[in-house]
Every structure is written in C-alpha cells, then in structure tokens.
Amino acid sequence: MVVAGDALIREGQQVLANTYARYPLVLVRGKGATVWDSAGREYLDCVAGLAVCNLGHCHPKVVAVIEQQARELIHCSNFYYIAPQIELARRLCAHSFGDRVFFCNSGAEATEAAIKLARKYATERFGKERYEIIAMENSFHGRTMGALSATGQERFHQGFHPLLPGFRHVPFDDVEAVADAINKKTCAVLVEPIQGEGGVKVPAPDYLKKLRALCDQTETLLIYDEVQVGMGRTGTLFAYEQFDAPPDIMTLAKSLANGIPIGALVATDAVAQAFTPGTHASTFGGNPLATAVGCCVVDTLLEDGILEHCREIGSYLHEGLVLLKDRYPFITAVRGQGLISACELAFSGKKIVERCMDKGVLINCTADTVLRFLPPLIVTQGEIDRLLATLDGIFAEQ
C-alpha cells in the first residue's frame, strides 16, 4: 500500500483514540469526486465520507454559504429562533411526509431522539407499558447506547452490555416476522429502507408498504432510518419515496449538510406533539451554520438535476457491476439503488479495498465480504468507468 505522511500517521497513532482501523493515508484536499493525499497523489473517492459528501468535496455553492454564514452568525442558543433552522425545517417538511423537525448533530443523536419520541408518544397515548421497539437484524443505527441497542449486529454490542432494554430484533425484509413480534408492549418499528452497513440490502418492493399497513393496523409507529440513504442517495430525495410508504418518523444526518455535522428527526405533527419544552434538546442542534448549509444542499439537489443524474449514473454503475459478476464467479451478488451500490464476494473484500487504494480509487468494505460504493452524486460516467476498470483489473488478479 502507498504510505503518505508517515510522521503525521505516527503522531495520530499516539494521540487519537483507537476507534478506527485507519488506512495509512492522510487526505488533505478534495474537489468533486477527487481527493488528494499529503504526497500530492489523487484518488477517485467512492466513499464520500461514508455517504456524506453527496454534492462532492468543496462544492462551490456549499463553500459560498459556509463563508457567508460564518461572517454572520455561527452559533446561538435554541432559546431563540434561528432563521436558517426554520428555513431548513420548512424545506424538509415541504418535500416529505413530515410536519415538524428536531435538529441535532449526528445520525446516532437522531436515532436517540426517535427512540425518545416514540416512547413518549406511546406512553402518553397508551400507557407506560408500551415502550418496546422492533428493529431489524443486521441493522445499524449508531454508536450511542440507545442507537447501539437498536442496532441488530452483535459485533457492535460486545463489551457494552447491559444494553438499553426494550428492543427486539427480527429478520429484515420479513413482514411476517414483524407481525409475529408485535405485541401490547410494542410502540414502534424501526427500519432502514435499505440496509447500508448490513451489506446494502434492498428489500422487496412491497416490504415497506406492508410494514406501513401492519403498523396502521396495530397502532404502531413506523420509523425510517434514512441517515445513509436519504438526501438523494437512492435517486429520490428520500429513499422511502422509492417504495411509496411514508413513515411517522424519519431520521436524517450524514449528507444533510455535505460534511458539516448535522442530524434531524422529521415527524408528523400528531407524533411530534409528544415533545414539549424540556423533554428533549440539543445545544448545537440546528445551529445557523449547519442549517444554512443544509438549505443549500436541499436546494442544489432539487434544482440542479442531481437526482436524475443519480438515477442515471447509478443504473450505469449497476450494469457495470453486473457485467463484472458475469465475468468473475466469486462475485456472488450485486445490489443497490441509485448511488449506493455493492457487490458481494465469496471471500473477504479487505484486500480488494487496499489494492484499489494502491491504484488510486477509494472504496469501502462492509460486512467483511461486501464491497460498497458510495461516490458523490455528481460523479461522472468517466469516473465510474475508472472505478469499473480498476475493479476489473484487480479481480483479474484473483
């Protein structure tokens, strides 16, 4: 593997918490779908900060808004009304099922807010015994204790027991399993419309519709975690639009401000009313800088043809991956929607990630055997060709 910035890497190994198995690479600059390391070498970035930089690195509109807002007001307390916060909430509600928005700083915080809101709503309506949440196996919802408890992967739980009680996990894409699990204690069902960290698992076309009907029938809230797949990643502003099944609560983060930390909970008015002053809060949530950038991101996605481009280039990438699967029998599956794509291998994908890095392409491996591709939504066909050619060359070595 190419090593750049050796001294800085050694210092990082000494002073940073050991929470990431970092690659020996120091990234110092980005533009569009390209990043550069400390040695000046360029890379095609098909990670995009893990589905964060949907508009690409240093998008000129984003940079301009950051510069302008930083000169005006970066932070103030939520004791006062914040204009960009209201503007972003209005945009999110206007283009979704929702009526009200709570802002925070990350996907995990948004999950925590969703858990609290669901339990508060159910307690007030049905009584305090209705607190359980059904989540999915192989799901991922964050690292804080509530979000971790909702996450359906034991490897993330190790060393952190006891977890928060009140969570049950059932197989993903199995409506009958959810129906069997719902009981008088159930307040909500929590699901990713497409599982990201769990291996880019796309459910059956009618899965979310059936969940919606089941939740309506049992007076159970339906919560979508759109932290990774929201904000245009699947080719529509929100992934649930692909399935025509709106939730009661939705969580957003990652790409909502294209790299500026932000999280959001979007909810119907009937559910959101359960939050009253003092029941939940966030010091930095909805700060002027993050929400001003969020407004820019929403407007750019909707006005610059990016969603259509995502659908078109996503189909092109998918077709290219299918051709590779036909050529190499160790590729066992190709999955995805829009520009969240993956190919599953018959062996660990970690060495493939390293070889791609050597050749100037950054990709990600999840669930050990799944190569995940999350390029910026502004990625070009030529850049996708480069990704596919790089994969082809490396697969030929296997």
Token digits of residue 388: 């596919």
Nearest in space to 189 (alpha carbons), one of 148, 150, 230, 229: 150
Nearest in space to 249 (alpha carbons), one of 230, 231, 274, 268: 268
Q: Residue 202 and residue 221: Cα distance in Å, rounded?
A: 22
The answer to whether 346 and 369 are in contact (CB under 8 A) is yes
The answer to whether 135 and 122 are in contact (CB under 8 A) is no
Catalytic residue among 172, 238, 254, 275: 254
Cα-flanking dihedrals φ and ψ of residue 98, to 5°?
A: -80, 165
Tell me, yes or no, if 185 is annotated catalytic.
no
Token digits of residue 91: 């945009």
Nearest in space to 247 (alpha carbons), one of 190, 194, 201: 190
Catalytic residue among 97, 102, 140, 275: 140
Its sign, for the CA torsion 9, 10, 13, 16, is negative
Q: What is the Cα 113 distance to its own chain's centre?
A: 16
DSSP helix/strand/coil, 341: strand
Q: Residue 45 and residue 383: Cα distance in Å, rounded?
A: 10
Q: Is the peptide bond before 162 cis (omega within 30 degrees of 0)?
A: yes
DSSP helix/strand/coil, 345: strand
Token digits of residue 219: 């007076």
Q: Residue 46 and residue 50: Cα distance in Å, rounded?
A: 9
The answer to whether 224 and 195 are in contact (CB under 8 A) is no
Q: CA distances (Å), 343 to each of 251, 316, 346, 388, in order?
A: 26, 14, 10, 12
Tell me, yes or no, if 225 is annotated catalytic.
yes
Cα-flanking dihedrals φ and ψ of residue 221, to 5°?
A: -75, 145
Tell me, yes or no, if 167 is annotated catalytic.
no
DSSP helix/strand/coil, 352: helix
Q: What is the Cα 39 distance to its own chain's centre?
A: 30
Catalytic residue among 37, 103, 201, 225: 225
Q: Which residues are catalytic?
A: 140, 225, 254
